[in-house]
């Protein structure tokens, strides 16, 4: 993958929120944000969401770790994020692209085993063959064993938190390599849902 | 707008979740789902999200009302939804397209006045001029007075719940009328955020 396509940066971003369904939500969210090493990404939090931007591997490393720390609270917690690459004009903070690829938060230990359910969708923009890109990534998740069926407007992944985020990162990485300059992926990942237990 | 474009149905869908940040989240979510009249839409809830599908006006009516009821709990509550139209093959439940346009949940009364902050994004698929479509809808929200700046990967809306959902519905409706067969819009709408109060 070349460093520059269509005059835009190859910086990856994720705008996400973590929702711990508890009266202690502020403590869980702030604890998760502070437990994670974000020195290799640009990060900004507002009253609605947090945005991290940088090299693809660090964006996935940081978002996965923040959710893992929040979900380790044991309460029903949901991660909702939109990953994006190639958004026209998205060059701000390109300095983070110079970071080395060594992950800072890969040791999330036992948090990685938390069972999760995910619904995700890929949106390759500015191209006619976007459905083909989507089908390819569904097949990849099937091969990885995380795919658990299609629902309206999304594909479902089930598995340990680390497996689900690996499938998400693989889908995003391969879809952008196909031929696209602008790719968006949305993901909702749920942990400790009482609905899941009662099924 | 014609009833059929590109051989796909004009059925609109929204896959969404409501996140009340409280220990009583089950009660708030179930209460909201049961307070709303969903007889004019196809509806299915699983352990991750709820999907409603039908005529555009009913999909927006039902999602707005469910969030309004949940937010009326007074706790920090977030709505996260993906609206879609023209997804290839999305014709299941087309029978709901025969419903009349009279809204069943427009009287959400004082709930409509709850102050909200929203981040939304439009993704017109299969077209080259998608950025133009997005800019047009940003201008429409500016004219409506709800637009409150651009952030990475999203546009921000602030205002009463009813105003924010009106801007979302207007953006979606006009963007699909532009010329597109497949349109996706994501929205995160937050109510009663302690971060907002502390700003």
Averaged pLDDT, groups of 10, chain B, 199 residues long: 49 97 97 95 96 96 97 97 89 86 90 95 92 93 96 96 97 87 96 78
Question: Least CA distance to A127: which residue of chain B?
Answer: B126
Interface membership of A134 toward B (CB under 8 Å): no
Extract long-range pairs of B129-132: CB within 8 Å, 24+ residues apart: B130/A125, B130/A126, B131/A88
Interface membership of B181 toward A (CB under 8 Å): no
The encoded tokens of residue A57 equal 């591997």
Element (H, E) at B197: helix B194-198
B152 vs A90: CB contact, 8 Å cut-off?
yes
**Number of helices (H) and strands (E), helices first, in chain B?**
5, 8
Edge to edge, what strands does the sheet with A42-45 contain? Answer: A42-45, A50-54, A12-20, A77-85, A182-191, A115-125, A154-160, A147-151
Task: Give B-chain residues touching A23 at CB under 8 angstroms.
Answer: 21-23
| B48 min Cα distance to partner chain A (Å) | 6
| A148 min Cα distance to partner chain B (Å) | 13
Task: Give B-chain residues touching A48 at CB under 8 angstroms.
Answer: 117-119, 156, 188, 190, 193
Looking at per-residue pLDDT, the higher value among A4 and A165 belongs to: A165
| Distances, alpha carbon B152 to alpha carbons A37, A66, B95, in Å | 21, 19, 39
- Domain boundary assignment for chain A: 12-89+111-193
Other beta carbons within 10 Å of A3? 7
Task: Give A-chain residues touching B130 at CB under 8 angstroms.
Answer: 125-126
The encoded tokens of residue B8 equal 């796909």
Amino acid B115: pLDDT: 97
Scored b (16 or more CB within 10 A) or e, A99-124 reads eeeebbbeebeebbebbbbbbbbbbb
Helix axes of A130-144 and A161-178: crossing angle, nearest 10 degrees = 150
Rounded CA gap, A117 and A123, in Å? 20
Dihedral sign (CA A90, A94, A96, A99):
positive
Rounded CA gap, B65 and A1, in Å? 45
Amino acid A197: pLDDT: 58
CATH second-level architecture of B12-89+111-193? 2-Layer Sandwich (3.30)
- How buried is residue B198: exposed, middle or buried, by Cβ count under 10 Å (0-12/13-18/19+)? exposed
What is the ipTM score, two decimals?
0.93
Q: What angle do CA B139, A154, B20 make, to 5 degrees?
A: 75
Task: Give A-chain residues touching B131 at CB under 8 angstroms.
Answer: 88
B89 within 8 A of B157, measured Cβ to Cβ: no
A153 vs B23: CB contact, 8 Å cut-off?
no
Scored b (16 or more CB within 10 A) or e, B156-190 reads bbbbebbbbbbbbbbbbbebbeeebbbbbbbbbbb
Amino acid A4: pLDDT: 38
Q: Dump pLDDT digits (tens) for A107-145.
A: 888 888 999 999 999 999 988 889 999 999 999 999 999
A126 vs B128: CB contact, 8 Å cut-off?
yes
Interface membership of A48 toward B (CB under 8 Å): yes
Question: Least CA distance to B157: which residue of chain A?
Answer: A48
- Bridge partners (DSSP) of residue A50 are A16, A45
Rounded CA gap, B65 and B177, in Å? 25
A15 vs B151: CB contact, 8 Å cut-off?
yes
pTM for this prediction: 0.94
Residue A188 known to bind ligand: no
Q: Dump pLDDT digits (tens) for A64-115.
A: 999 999 999 999 999 999 999 998 877 777 889 999 999 999 888 888 899 9
Amino acid B88: pLDDT: 81
């Amino acid at each position: 993958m070349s460093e520059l396509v269509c005059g835009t940066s190859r910086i990856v971003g994720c705008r996400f929120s973590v929702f711990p369904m508890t009266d202690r939500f502020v403590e869980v969210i702030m604890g998760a944000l502070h437990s994670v090493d974000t020195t290799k990404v640009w990060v900004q939090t507002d009253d609605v969401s947090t945005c991290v931007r940088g090299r693809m591997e660090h964006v996935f490393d940081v978002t996965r770790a923040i959710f893992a720390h929040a979900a380790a609270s044991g309460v029903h917690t949901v991660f909702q994020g939109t990953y994006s690459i190639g958004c026209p004009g998205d060059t701000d903070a390109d300095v983070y692209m110079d970071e080395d690829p060594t992950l800072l938060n890969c040791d999330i230990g036992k948090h990685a085993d938390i069972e999760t359910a995910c619904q995700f969708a890929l949106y390759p923009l500015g191209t006619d063959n976007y459905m083909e890109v989507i089908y390819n990534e569904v097949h990849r998740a099937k091969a990885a064993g995380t795919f658990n069926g299609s629902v309206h407007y999304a594909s479902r992944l089930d598995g340990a938190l680390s497996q689900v985020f690996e499938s998400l990162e693989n889908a995003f990485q391969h879809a952008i390599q196909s031929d696209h300059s602008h790719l968006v992926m949305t993901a909702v990942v749920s942990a400790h849902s009482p609905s899941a237990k009662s099924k």
